[in-house]
Amino acid sequence: MNLSFKKIFLILISITLFTTSSYADQEKTYKKLKIFTDVLDEISKNYVDPVESDKLIQMAISGMVQNLDPHSSFLTPSAFKALQDDTKGRFTGIGIEITMRKGKLIIVSPIEDTPADKAGLKAGDIIFKVDGILTDTMTSEEAVNKIKGKKGTSLVITIIRKEVPEPFDVRLVRDEIPNDTVKYAYIKQGFGYVSISNFNENTTEDLEKALRKINQKRKPLKGLVLDLRNNPGGLLNQAIKVSDLFINRGIIVSIRNHAGNSNQVWQAHKRTNGNYPIVVLINGGSASASEIVAGALKDHKRALILGTTSFGKGSVQTIKPLRGGYAIKYTIARYYTPKGTSIQALGIEPDLYLPYKRLKKSEREEYGLRERDLKNHLKAISKKPTSVKTKIKNRFGLSTENLLRDNQVSRAYEILLGQSIFQQR
């Protein structure tokens, strides 16, 4: 055994013996670590090609962490920096959230208005190859590094999709991924629409601005459609703050460690943005932080949940910086909704199940023949000036017509409108 491996072995032994609780555990761990160093030594001496010991150790650590669960990983300095940039909303790529599940690289959701979204990639798509290289042997970090790159550069990914019989290629050009996580629009008759694409450090502040602007256009707000579809999650503290905007009191979320103890509980504060009814939209691409928001609003009966079952990521990760610029991202707890429900691998069930469908213009209109279509029909006489219907667009290009051709948004609006009518009566 060479000197570097001996040093590694002694360090591992000292750390392990310090943290284990009994002599029997120490002895068992000692034998396993000895096997580990034997393997390192054997490969470094006799493998067909030269392999650097640093690379072997990094691969061993990466494998150890990644095999814990799909969301834990060992981060190199470059990967750690990229992750920090992601949470600040500054990065280039194609705009997807991915996870590794049973050796398959799966798209959790595409981010709206990104190359992936415009190319038609969907939640649940399996990335079979990246530039012709199979992904089944890649770690999550390797896949991310392969997909990300400089703005303007291109890549080809091969997709396996459930309803498509053969894998197919999609060519994409990398671009800056927008850091505006909140988009908003005024639907009509006092109802607003807000979409949150992911949760970064600016999300709550941007949401508060959006709600103020919607109220300025037509006040007071009678109801809100909160769109969390294809929202892969993000920062836990932002999910809590967003939930806190709509809930007066009570638990927002709690997390428990491996012993099942309730380590932390986050409570709501009385600072809500009005008591108007809310319909939350979710689907299979709604994961993690977006499920925390949907779960909190559902359990408090603050919102009606509409759409399809969410992704089911009910775990919490933390990032521990290490020496040399490395870091480890690993799962520390499961989170629970206010009623104490874990949605891990189950997802949040909507109150109203409604699969997505893009409505044709004709489907938004009633049966075509009307009195006004008859030849020589009498004209209406009104003392009031005829109102002019206008499309209200915000800076993101959302319009009432396009929003209401989304059947889930349309149904949410109809629910809010119906409730408002009954309240008035």
Active-site amino acid positions:
288, 299, 313
Distance CA 219, CA 189 (A): 10
Give the type of residue at 370.
R
Residue 72: half-sphere exposure toward Cβ, Cα within 13 Å? 16
DSSP 367: -
Residue 286: half-sphere exposure toward Cβ, Cα within 13 Å? 29
Distance CA 303, CA 309 (A): 16
Q: What is the side-by-side order of every strand in the sheet holding 223-227?
A: 182-188, 191-196, 223-227, 278-282, 303-307, 352-353
Q: Structure tokens of 301?
A: 């009966």
Alpha-carbon distance values, 346 to 139, 151, 342 (Å): 25, 37, 8
Tell me if 202 sits within 8 A of 181, measured CB to CB: yes
Beta bridge partners of 279: 225, 304
Environment class of residue 416 by beta-carbon count within 10 Å: exposed (0-12), middle (13-18) or buried (19+)? buried
Q: Structure tokens of 68?
A: 């814990």
Alpha-carbon distance values, 339 to 57, 78, 184, 231, 251 (Å): 44, 40, 30, 23, 8
Beta bridge partners of 127: 105, 159
Angle at 343 between CA 340 and CA 344, to 5 degrees: 120
Environment class of residue 120 by beta-carbon count within 10 Å: exposed (0-12), middle (13-18) or buried (19+)? exposed
Distance CA 10, CA 34 (A): 10
3-state SS, residue 223: strand
Q: Where would I find the beta strands (DSSP E) of 117-181? A: 126-130, 133-134, 154-160, 168-173, 175-176
Distance CA 241, CA 253 (A): 11
